[in-house]
Amino acid sequence: MKWRVKKSTLAGSVAVPPSKSHSIRAVLFASMAKGRSTIDNLLPSPDVDCAIEAMRSAGAVIANGKIDGVDGKPKFNGVINAGNSGQVLRFVGALAALGEKPVMITGDDSLQKQRPVSPLIEALQVLGAEAKEDKGLFVKGPVMGGKTTLSGEDSQPVSAILMMAPFLSGRTELEVRKSGEKAWIDLTLYWLKKLGVKCGHEEYKRYWVEGDKTIDAFDYSVPGDWSAAAFPLAAALVTGSKLTVDKLDMDDAQGDKAIVDVLRLMGAEIVVKGTSITIKPVAELKGAEIDINPLIDAVTILAVLACFATTSTRIYNGAVARTKECDRLNCITLELKKMGADIVEAEDSLIINPAKLQGAKVKSHGCHRMAMSLAIAAMGADGITEIDGVQWAAKSFPNFKEVMQAVGANIE
């Protein structure tokens, strides 16, 4: 599936989709709870669908936003398809270790080859599980509460252990080496505390969670996705347009709301009012030094934005971006160079100098954020850009093309 995108001028308001990360956590915790939960405004995404199907296989009854949970006793068995979702792979992999049946969590080619599971395997084995990498993750419990350790450059294995721990006996303690993506761990801790779980951490190096917890059913409405908001916000700056992005909560636990601070650092004029952010045209964008780890999902769109700045930008501390749906540091470098970008890739960073972008034939590398980032780049470039593999955008921003068309994007 392809898009053809040309230089655009935007105006109006964009409503961002519900948060993918909140949606998946809501499904998993409601499925593990006691009683019936109601979850409104779930993101219609293949990743969320995989989470739902996984928890149905554990015994949860899920229909029309109503979830009858398993009261902390999942009955996973056999093969679970995580599709393209690293969250489902790691989070469900940990929950599956609560049971005694062998479970295989697998998915598409990208998930099998691109998403490391060895840190999670390390932690599960110490807690008593049989676990190994096998076209995804094989796991067989039961695990016991206690002390374990893992390498935490990627936050998802850390979150997976924290999400499993309330259902273990006693206290679970987790020591984390090389802790990264801390904003996403904060999101998981937010959920645990919201549900009454006693937990805490010491400088993101040591965590503790009290077990033997019964999670009561709850009602929840999924807020707008700050990760998705980065794309229309950047589009306004790239096209020199005034645009309002709606359905956002400035008090939400999502770490990617730091995009507002980064855009202001680059010279953006942003007005926050209620659940809306209005971004206005500026005379020039400035390059910046950006520690991307706290908002790692924004690396591709910030690389695009940096091309339109008047001075150089360095995006650093982003090595973990290499283990997402694709190697995002390498892939965004390859594709933006096709458009004329002056971009240099290093081990954990990108250096981007100002450049005038031209239309080209580019591809998403199977990554939703790559597809949308390249579309935004094309809205500010001369000529026509043809983007292959755009169907992946539906993973986190359903109807991205139609939503952007509605505010003036020249995309077909």
Of 154, 225, 256, 297, the active-site residue reads: 297
- Residue 240: its H or E element: none
Phi, psi angle pair for 284, to nearest 5°: -155, 150
Pairing of strands 103-106, 137-140: antiparallel
297 catalytic? Reply is: yes
C-alpha span between 160 and 227 (Å, rounded): 20
Structure tokens given for 326 = 């694709």
C-alpha span between 217 and 78 (Å, rounded): 27
Phi, psi angle pair for 290, to nearest 5°: -125, 115
Closest by Cα among 21, 59, 318 to 159? 21
Hey, is 386 helix, strand or coil?
strand
C-alpha span between 279 and 62 (Å, rounded): 39
Continuous H helices in 165-246: 182-194, 226-239
Structure tokens given for 340 = 């004329």
Question: Which residue in the block uniquely carries the two structure tokens 């991205």?
Answer: 400
Closest by Cα among 333, 343, 377 to 231? 377
Residue 3 and residue 384 in contact, taking contact as beta carbons nearer than 8 Å: no
In the β-sheet with 242-246, what is the strand arrangement from edge to edge? Answer: 11-15, 242-246, 276-280, 269-273
In one letter, which amino acid is 260? V
Calculate helix-pair angle for 118-126, 86-96, nearest 10 degrees. 10
Distances (CA, A) of 145 to 71, 124, 375: 18, 10, 47
What is the end-to-end Cα distance of the chain in Å, rounded?
11
Question: Which residue in the block uniquely carries the two structure tokens 């917890």?
Answer: 213
Q: Looking at the annotation, which residues are catalytic?
A: 297
